[in-house]
Amino acid sequence: MKQRKYFFMALLLVLAIVATACPKTEDPGPEPTKTAAEEGKPGGTLVFAAEQYPKCLNFVTSCRSASWLHYTALLPTMARFLTADADNNYKATDLITKIPTLENGLVTESPFTVTYELNPKAKWDDNTPITGEDVKFTWQAILTSSKSVIKIGYDKIEDVTTEGNKVKIAFKEPYAPWRDLFNMTHYILKADAFAGKPDVSDAMQTSIGFAGGPFKLESFSESEMVLVRNDNYYGKKAFLDKVIFKKIESQTSELTTFKTGEIQGFFPQPTTELVEQVKAIPGGEIGVKPGTVYEGLWFNLDKFPVNDKAVRTALLYGLDRQKAIDTIVKPVDPKATVNHCLWNVPQNAGGKWCNKDFPTKPDTAKATKALEDGGWKKGSDGIYAKGGQRLVVPIATTAGNVGREQFQTILQAQAKEIGIEIKADNSDATTLFQTRLPARDFVVGMFAQVASPDPTVTTNLHKDLIPSKDAPDGENYYGWKNDEASKLMRDSDKEVDDKERIKQFQEMGKLMAEDVMSIPLYAKPQILVYNSEKLGGDFNFNAGQLAFSDLLRTWYFKKAA
Amino acid sequence: MLAYALRRLLISIPLLILASILVFYFLRLTTDPAQALRNPRMTAEQVQEVKHAMGLDKSGPEQYTSWLTNFVKGDWGLSFDYQAPVAPIIKARFFNTLKLMGIAVLLSFLLAIAIGVYSAVRPYSKLDYTFTGMSFLGISMPIFWFALLIQLILGFYLQQWLGRDEPLFFTSGMHRPGDPTFHLIDFVRHATLPSLALTIQLVAGWSRYERSSMMEVMNADFMRTARAKGLKSRSVIFKHALRNALIPLVTVIGIDVGALFGGLIVTEVIFSWPGMGSLFTSALAVGDYPIVLPWLMITAGLVILLNLVADLLVGILDPRVRYG
Amino acid sequence: MVDPTSRAITDEQAVQEPKAQDAHGIAEGPARTQWQLAWKKFRQHKLAVASLFILVVLYLAAIFAPIVAPFDPNELDLDHVRESPSLKHPMGTDALGRDEFSRVVYGGRISLAVGMGVALSAGFIGTTMGALAGFYGRWVDAVLMRTTDFFLAMPVLAVLLVAAKALGGSITDIVVILAVLYWMPVARIVRNVFMSLKEKEYVEGARASGAGSIRIIVRHLLPNSLGPIIVNVTLGIAIAILTESLLSFLGFGIQPPTATWGNMLSSARDSMLTQPWLVWFPGFMILLTVLCVNFLGDGLRDALDPAGHKIRT
């Protein structure tokens, strides 16, 4: 009797499910927008996976270190002066009429000022105009908020003044990387949204409340955020009604949900099987872009054994980096090659900041000679030793990143052949970047840096900017103390003439290579996977900080549901 | 009955306290709550400030008592990673997990009884062997592999086979993106695959246990007596045998709940279910211990509570226990 | 909480058949010991016998791995990556060109060693604890049993993950952590057996004739609990192997490039459709091993412990 009861209950449940399966109507699904009539490009709701979903929204505080915060909630919704095109050259946004240069007079050398001419139509999503007061407020917020981090550059601003639709930023001294301010990872805040109080430390935790871009953040929860089209946007409006960023942390789940259509795009880490798997999915399209994000072996020059230049030289010539790249990276990016410059990439800004400073081919003879000249002797186990210490090099990379771990394994095998023992010393990404790196608790780090269109490396490499309580903004985790290079860094930060600046960076590159202060690897392919059967628009994304966000406003659904 | 219930309750309380002490010290011993302090940018005063704010300058037992008082009050501290209070984060996830766990446990319970009883009544039949075989398979297969296969077959391949635009059973999340309000059918479609993964693993073990318990009971003396008295076979089975066979199953569910969390963690991660399990792995992975500590407390408390419920149920079902 | 197996424990699995005797009381016919009877019963469970055979083969392969495996499991061959199974590589190669078969063999070494190590350690700890609790009773029993209760109440996997993260993922760490978390079922059973047996007459008799506690424990009580202990230790192997693979899958266990079945399955999980051999072989090995252990345990229980003292974990 009881058995029968359960059986019927189960049957009812199954029938209920089947009943929902039959009518193929989609419940709250995409509907054509106003623009559909104009251009025949339906809007609809895009669901995009976020592999590293941001935990909070405030880009002035430490939340900003999450790169996905920018891709998802900020870049499509915030106002900024400049963006970057697909080749990572600076480009004007809708907010300004033209890029300030020396030629058009909007940049003056002494005193050093930059003037942005605002688009007279520029307004926030509530139709109030975007003005220089907002820019000034932002400057104050970044400088004075108690929880603000990384204020470099903003402390070089003397004042921000407004004259009509012109916003003049006056600097205390020439500051060459001015283009990064208010554009790359800091954006323009709406002064009215904060009641004029520039300490925004506790604001913007789970909502933003204003928008200056083609989209607006409607809601932000722990597992998904919803952006809606900003219908008051003063420039070319977006087609999509909604963009939902959904937290999906594993690539396996991303692939599965992409297959079933639960998501229409994602931005994965490169793994060797990825291209095959995406191509096997109907409608699966994969766009790969090398550039502006580059992997390297970054030395902590104060730690044994890489404090010994002989060891660094041996690693440079002893490892066959191209072979490792062929195995791990080429399946995703067939053109992947060893990078020949250190703190930049050939694909960035036409390669003008990247010179052929570093050798790219292995030379085991040179490696061996360097070690032996440096006093290292091969032990009975085939590994070099000096002064009773074996040549063991711990390399720290992000645990769980299959591609990197495999790369590490290949380097291990190669190093063994020339008598160096590489040890895996991995941590999860958060621990590595937020704890170990600032504490300089690593010997060699293997991870990626992001190149902004401006080549400045001062915070990362200046001898006075090794992180300490005296230099809290310093990011010279590597401990490079090269006087000549440091001077060049300061000079180039003030050098407004690009030609001169290029010469200075060439010098710096030579010095980096002479010291073998780190070893370049390759330009990390940035990958966008999207469903080309369902989506149309511009998919030629920028391979740097801005990734695909700028393109969101061009995307549309090929057919309404 | 009341005395029995009170006795069980009284035992639970020291157990809970013991749990809290052990969890607290375990985490303090094995984790480094001050890892953010290893930051050369901070001055000595700043380091002291943070230590004081985190209460790390007090003695062990002091830290424990202050933590415990805060915990009971509902103040579970701030998460390193989210930079927001821990309590609301856990609370939201908790109910999501409860939904999943509830469905799985209920379904497994019913199925285990159905299968166990059938197998006991018709032992060594073809169906019995099939069930036994499937059970062995179920307890031998790693649950994550099984979940991945379900995701692929019933999520993707089923969709292809039915020729649908959308999968019949969704493979990730708890609700449609952008629509967090509760819709029954939508919820069922999202919950089916993860519950199935959990259920099959539970049923595999429980049904075998139920089967052997039932068989023991059915062969027991009192059953023979009942049959000898001339009671009809069906009523004998369902009134007497089942009641007695339910007892061990209920107890086993109590014991298994702790282990259930293991399967839950994996299932939630694979199906991106926003519950306690996926919260735990992501918090642990980034070393966000302010979340890990209350998490362990809550699950320990939950397990103790469920064991208490199981004990009470057994007390109701089995009079021998109350007075023994 | 109620112990569902606390019905009268029969030690009649130690059935001694009445020996056939001639007129003078001298035993005739083959003497059958408890163990020989058990073996006879065991042989009747065909699946268990087959499983025993398979497991022996697997363990031998693991022990003699250097001979069985054709390649070094860590030897890279970057020119032959992700190849499907062939004569040279019967299970294909993985993403770095390593021979999958060799990796499965060496991975088996680790998985099987972890399984055995955990089962034996947990068995040892559990037996000791249970013996103490069962024999001395009263407050020793109360304390030990409450501890057991507590451990049973903990969400084991969660604690495991925290410990694994803190201590790192070396093999010894994993074995130690798992053993510390899994000794409880054995302890319970041993304690129950001891409790019921220690009041029996022959124990009284032994005490009366001056036997010390240890002697009683070892000579009289332990042998009778050996049956259920063996069953549970065997089943513990299954749980240990599954748990190790789960740890690896979640990224907390033994880290690559060391091969274990669990982390091989985990690294290949995206390749289910493109390089299925990388998923199916390690997965199948786990399944096969655990299945065999379960069948073996089932057979052992029929033979040694028909009253069914298995406490489920």
Question: Residue A472 pLDDT > 70, yes or no?
Answer: yes
Look at the block and give the residue holding tokens 């506690």: C213
**Whole-number Å distance between alpha carbons of A417 and A396:** 21
| DSSP structure string for A412-471 | HHHHHHTT-EEEE--B-HHIIIIIITTTT--SEEEEEEE--SS---HHHH-GGGSSSSS-
Question: Residue A176 pLDDT > 80, yes or no?
Answer: yes
Q: Nearest-CA neighbor of A176 among A553, A502, A536?
A: A502
8 Å CB contact of B299 and C155: yes
**Whole-number Å distance between alpha carbons of A295 and A272:** 16
Domain, as residue range, for C117: 41-70+101-304
pLDDT class of A397 with cuts at 50, 70, 90: very high
Question: Residue C307 pLDDT > 70, yes or no?
Answer: no
pLDDT class of C202 with cuts at 50, 70, 90: low
Tokens of A406: 């495999």
**Whole-number Å distance between alpha carbons of A202 and A224:** 21
Burial class of residue A384, CB neighbours in 10 A (0-12, 13-18, 19+): buried
What is the structure's pLDDT at A126? 92
Residue among C96, C161, C255 with most chain A CBs within 10 A, to mutate: C96
**Whole-number Å distance between alpha carbons of A219 and B178:** 9
C157 neighbourhood in chain B, CB within 8 Å: 259, 261-262, 265
Tell me whether A14 touches chain B (CB under 8 Å). Answer: no
Residue A171 to residues A108, A109, A181, C63, C277, Cα–Cα distance (Å) = 10, 10, 12, 72, 62
What percentage of chain C carries pLDDT values higher than 90? 14
State the pairing for strand pair A384-386/A389-390: antiparallel
**Whole-number Å distance between alpha carbons of C86 and C76:** 17
Check which CATH number belongs to the domain holding C175 and give it: 1.10.3720.10
Contact (CB, 8 A) for C118 and C179: yes
**Whole-number Å distance between alpha carbons of A544 and A549:** 11
What is the average pLDDT value for chain C, to the nearest integer? 78
Question: What letter would DSSP give residue A541?
Answer: -
Q: Nearest-CA neighbor of C106 among C50, C171, C157, C163?
A: C171
8 Å CB contact of B145 and C265: yes
Cβ-based neighbours of A252, under 8 Å, separated by 6 or more: B148, B270, C269, C270
Distance between first and last Cα of chain A: 47
Question: What letter would DSSP give residue A70?
Answer: I
Distance from B6 to chain A by nearest Cα, in Å?
32
Amino acid at A449: Q
Q: C296: helix, coil or strand?
A: helix
What is the structure's pLDDT at A454? 84
Sheet holding A215-220, edge to edge: A215-220, A224-229, A242-247, A45-50, A265-266, A526-531, A284-289
Contact (CB, 8 A) for C280 and C268: no
Residues 240-299 of chain C with CB under 8 A from chain A are 251, 255-257, 267, 269-271, 273-275
Question: Residue C3 pLDDT > 70, yes or no?
Answer: no
Question: Residue A159 pLDDT > 90, yes or no?
Answer: yes
Among A280, A409, A426, the residue with its CB nearest the CB of C96 is: A409
What is the structure's pLDDT at B37? 52
pLDDT class of C117 with cuts at 50, 70, 90: very high
Question: Residue A19 pLDDT > 50, yes or no?
Answer: no
Q: Indicate whether C228 belongs to any domain.
A: yes
Half-sphere exposure of residue C284, counting CA atoms within 13 Å on the CB side?
10
What is the structure's pLDDT at C98? 92
Look at the block and give the residue holding tokens 């766990």: B101
Instruction: Read off the pTM.
Output: 0.82
Count other Cβ atoms within 10 Å, centred on residue C299.
24
Q: Indicate whether C2 belongs to any domain.
A: no
**Whole-number Å distance between alpha carbons of C200 and B146:** 48
**Whole-number Å distance between alpha carbons of C169 and A428:** 14
pLDDT class of A11 with cuts at 50, 70, 90: low
Question: Residue A1 pLDDT > 70, yes or no?
Answer: no
φ and ψ at residue A450, rounded to 5 degrees: -110, 130
**Whole-number Å distance between alpha carbons of A184 and A453:** 9
Question: Residue A520 pLDDT > 60, yes or no?
Answer: yes
Q: What is the mean pLDDT of residues B104-110?
A: 90
What is the structure's pLDDT at B34? 61
Residue A503 to residues A352, A494, A508, Cα–Cα distance (Å) = 10, 14, 9
Distance between first and last Cα of chain B: 12
**Whole-number Å distance between alpha carbons of C245 and A392:** 30
| DSSP structure string for A365-398 | HHHHHHHHHTT-EE-TTS-EEETTEE-EEEEE-B
Distance of CA C183 to the CA centre of its chain: 11
What is the structure's pLDDT at A486? 93
Element (H or E) spanning A298, and its range? strand A293-299
A226 neighbourhood in chain B, CB within 8 Å: 177-178
For residue range B291-304, what is the model confidence (pLDDT) as tens digits? 888 888 888 888 87
For residue range A82-132, what is the model confidence (pLDDT) as tens digits? 988 877 788 899 999 999 988 888 888 888 999 999 999 999 999 999 999
Residues 56-85 of chain C with CB under 8 A from chain A are 74, 76, 78, 81-82
Chain C positions with Cβ closer than 8 Å to B: 1-2, 4, 146, 149-150, 152-159, 161-163, 165-167, 238, 242-243, 245-246, 249-252, 262, 265, 269, 272-273, 283, 286-287, 290-291, 294-295, 308, 311-313
Question: Residue A25 pLDDT > 50, yes or no?
Answer: no
Distance of CA B197 to the CA centre of its chain: 13
Q: Indicate whether C27 belongs to any domain.
A: no
B112 neighbourhood in chain A, CB within 8 Å: none
Tell me whether A255 touches chain C (CB under 8 Å). Answer: yes
Question: What letter would DSSP give residue A537?
Answer: S
Query: What fold is seen in the domain B89-317?
Result: MetI-like fold (1.10.3720)
For residue range A199-237, what is the model confidence (pLDDT) as tens digits? 988 888 888 989 999 999 999 988 899 999 999 999 889
Q: Nearest-CA neighbor of B86 among B277, B282, B293, B286?
A: B293
Contacts A–C by Cβ distance under 8 A: 51
What is the structure's pLDDT at A22? 42
Q: Nearest-CA neighbor of A480 among A495, A502, A501, A458?
A: A458
φ and ψ at residue B287, rounded to 5 degrees: 70, 35
State the pairing for strand pair A535-536/A556-557: antiparallel
For residue range A231-275, what is the model confidence (pLDDT) as tens digits? 999 988 999 999 999 988 788 888 889 988 899 999 988 888 888
State the pairing for strand pair A444-450/A293-299: antiparallel
Q: Indicate whether C23 belongs to any domain.
A: no
Question: Residue C17 pLDDT > 60, yes or no?
Answer: no
What is the average pLDDT value for chain A, to the nearest integer? 86
Domains of chain A: 293-523 (3.10.105.10)
Tokens of C87: 């004569």
A248 neighbourhood in chain B, CB within 8 Å: 172, 272
What is the structure's pLDDT at A161? 93
Question: Residue A297 pLDDT > 90, yes or no?
Answer: yes
Residues paired with residue A47 on neighbouring β-strands, in sequence order: A244
Residue among C72, C74, C77, C78 with most chain A CBs within 10 A, to mutate: C78
Question: Residue A383 pLDDT > 60, yes or no?
Answer: yes
**Whole-number Å distance between alpha carbons of A232 and B273:** 36
Count other Cβ atoms within 10 Å, centred on residue C39.
12
Q: Nearest-CA neighbor of A66 among A404, A522, A441, A434?
A: A434
Cβ-based neighbours of B37, under 8 Å, separated by 6 or more: B47, B50, B51
Tokens of C268: 């290949």
Tokens of C204: 């009284």
8 Å CB contact of A399 and C271: no
What is the structure's pLDDT at C203? 67
Tell me whether B12 touches chain C (CB under 8 Å). Answer: no
Contact (CB, 8 A) for C239 and C313: yes
Look at the block and give the residue holding tokens 């909630």: A73
**Whole-number Å distance between alpha carbons of C202 and C206:** 6
Question: Residue C96 pLDDT > 50, yes or no?
Answer: yes
Amino acid at A115: T
Q: Indicate whether C4 belongs to any domain.
A: no
For residue range B218-246, what is the model confidence (pLDDT) as tens digits? 777 666 676 677 666 666 666 776 777 77
Distance from C166 to chain A by nearest Cα, in Å?
12
What is the structure's pLDDT at C276? 86
pLDDT class of B22 with cuts at 50, 70, 90: confident
Residue among B41, B91, B127 with most chain A CBs within 10 A, to mutate: B41
pLDDT class of B43 with cuts at 50, 70, 90: low
Count other Cβ atoms within 10 Å, centred on residue B130.
11
Q: Higher model confidence: residue A81 or residue B47? A: A81
Q: Indicate whether C259 belongs to any domain.
A: yes
Question: Residue A395 pLDDT > 70, yes or no?
Answer: yes
**Whole-number Å distance between alpha carbons of A234 and A239:** 14
Contact (CB, 8 A) for A182 and A80: yes
Among chain C residues, the shortest Cα distance to A402 is held by: C267
Distance from C85 to chain B by nearest Cα, in Å?
21
8 Å CB contact of C76 and A409: yes
Q: What is the mean pLDDT of residues A540-549?
A: 75
Cβ-based neighbours of A151, under 8 Å, separated by 6 or more: A142, A143, A473
Contact (CB, 8 A) for A465 and A471: yes
Residues paired with residue A394 on neighbouring β-strands, in sequence order: A423
pLDDT class of C38 with cuts at 50, 70, 90: confident
Residues 101-160 of chain B with CB under 8 A from chain A are 110-111, 113-114, 117-118, 148, 151-152, 155-156, 159
Contact (CB, 8 A) for C111 and C95: no
Cβ-based neighbours of A271, under 8 Å, separated by 6 or more: A251, A332, A402, A403, C270
B281 neighbourhood in chain C, CB within 8 Å: 161, 250
Most confidently predicted of A77-81, B65-69, C65-69, C274-278: A77-81
8 Å CB contact of C162 and B18: no
What percentage of chain A carries pLDDT values higher than 70? 92
Q: What is the mean pLDDT of residues A358-378?
A: 93
A262 neighbourhood in chain B, CB within 8 Å: 166-167, 170-173, 177
Residues 203-262 of chain B with CB under 8 A from chain A are 234, 238, 242
The ranges assigned to domains in chain B are 2-73, 89-317
8 Å CB contact of A413 and C273: no
Element (H or E) spanning A396, and its range? strand A392-396
Chains touching A, CB cut-off 8 Å, 3+ pairs: B, C
8 Å CB contact of A261 and B272: no
What is the average pLDDT value for chain B, to the nearest integer? 80
Q: Indicate whether C133 belongs to any domain.
A: yes
| DSSP structure string for B224-255 | HHHHHTT--HHHIIIIIIHHHHHHHHHHHHHH
**Whole-number Å distance between alpha carbons of A295 and C311:** 53
What is the structure's pLDDT at B39? 59
For residue range A111-121, what is the model confidence (pLDDT) as tens digits? 899 999 999 99
Let me know the angle formed at the C-alpha of A347 by A346 and A350, rounded to the nearest 5 degrees: 85
Contact (CB, 8 A) for B205 and B139: yes
What is the structure's pLDDT at A23? 40
What is the structure's pLDDT at A110? 82
What is the structure's pLDDT at C51? 92
8 Å CB contact of B172 and A262: yes
Count other Cβ atoms within 10 Å, centred on residue B20.
20
| Domain count for chain C | 1
Among A276, A399, A406, the residue with its CB nearest the CB of C96 is: A406
**Whole-number Å distance between alpha carbons of A231 and A237:** 7
